[in-house]
Chain A
Amino acid sequence: MTRNVSVTQRIQSATPSTPPSGSSILYPKSDGDWYTLDSAGNEKFAFSPFRWIYEDATVHVSTLQTPTTVVDQTTPSLAAGDYLLLAGFSWSYNNAFQDIIIDIIVDGTAFDQISKGNTMRAEAKDPDGAGFEGTGTDTRRPHNIEIPLTLSAGTHTIEIEKSSEGSGVEASMWDILLYLRRVA
């Protein structure tokens, strides 16, 4: 039997005709992503070649109460849909009684899941240690969140800003990973 080396499908500019009962079809659309359509006429996003990954191992240290930009990126052009942005980083703050404040900002709006004004605001608890890379502390704390986004077609800006609650206190973040993928 001769077998094909690929499933080659015509790019659809709109939802194709519904397949017969008991069948479903898989096809690319003009937005670059692949979709399925079942015999009930339900079209769903299947998968996308699109992935956007940003990494930065740099230790970013600032002591300012005004926000300092740590990340300022523009995504490639993407299809309209629902996305998840994984944001992971390590952080420290060189004071036990004040907060580090971090905002993850997409298209100018900070993700603020609990409506308190910031993406993350946390007291460090432990500023001890000799410090590394100017952080003033050996503390290494994790932060890993997934941010749901409904994005329009085109490019989008992703920024991270960081500030200190107290003037002159080292607020630090490093090993930043941003991973954006379409999920629906």
Chain B
Amino acid sequence: MRYLDIASQRVADSIATPPTGYQSLFQKSDGDWYVKNDAGNESFVFSPVRANIQSAGVTTIESTSDVDKINAALGTTLTAGSYLVTVSYLWRGSSISSSIEGFFTLNGSAVGREDWIHRQEPKDPGVNQSIGFKRTFRWVIATDTNPTVRLWFQGRTTNQFQVGNAVVEFEKVGGP
């Protein structure tokens, strides 16, 4: 067996099928790593691409109109493929009979069935409450993009709602 200090490889978008009984690990020009088996099938295995956008601090909503929590470019170009997109934040509301309403888009479009992803009344309007919201969606992009991420809120009424630290995280899980 040959031992190398480190394996140095040239990026290649396609490689020859390995001999029977072998598998090949290789990196494509988009930076992602794939395995090709001896039947000629390629499979995505992992990507160095991980990105997130955050909004720290407390945003107060006292309106039935839109209040942006995040409305900005991600700041990282995502290469074409399949992503898991996880939206998480902490929230509270001052009335047990009025709902917070949360909305989420990427490049102006919903990632689930609609942009309206959250509507919920707090059970307890105590000032110390902090309720977690977390949802993961799948997002598939055909071309590279630095997406505009928008997460915004409304109150069902003008009661006070607050949203704390919000994070939108992207993890690539499949090739184009």
Contact = CB atoms under 8 A, between A and B. Distances in A.
Contacts of B116: 140
Interface of A: 1, 3-11, 17, 19-20, 23, 25-26, 28, 32, 34, 47-49, 51, 53, 55, 57, 59, 86, 88, 90, 125-126, 128-129, 138-142, 144, 174-175, 177, 179, 181
B35 A177 contact: no
Contacts of A10: 21-22
B138 A53 contact: yes
14 contacts: A4-B10, A6-B12, A8-B22, A11-B38, A34-B25, A49-B35, A51-B173, A53-B173, A59-B113, A88-B137, A90-B117, A139-B99, A175-B112, A175-B135
B117 to A, nearest CB: 6
A51 B37 CA distance: 16
B113 A175 contact: yes
A179 B135 CA distance: 13
Contacts of A55: 138
Interface of B: 1, 3, 7-12, 15, 18, 21-26, 35-38, 43-46, 82, 84, 86, 99, 112-113, 116-121, 123, 133-138, 156, 173-174
Contacts of A181: 173
Contacts of B37: 32
A5 B22 contact: no
Contact of A125 (B3, B38, B121): B121
B3 A19 contact: yes
B118 A140 contact: yes
A26 B7 CA distance: 11
Contacts of B22: 8-11
Nearest to A54: B138
Nearest to A7: B25
A95 B117 CA distance: 20
Contacts of B134: 142, 144
A47 B44 CA distance: 11
Contacts of A48: 45
B114 to A, nearest CB: 8
A20 B119 CA distance: 59
B119 A129 contact: yes
Given A34-B25, A88-B135, A90-B135, A6 B118 contact: no
Nearest to B173: A51
A8 B46 contact: no
A125 to B, nearest CB: 6
A135 B121 CA distance: 17
Closest 6 CB pairs of A and B: A49-B43, A6-B24, A126-B121, A6-B26, A5-B12, A175-B112
B120 A139 contact: yes
Given A28-B35, A90-B112, A126-B99, A7 B26 contact: yes
B174 A177 contact: no
Given A28-B35, A126-B120, A179-B84, A142 B133 contact: yes
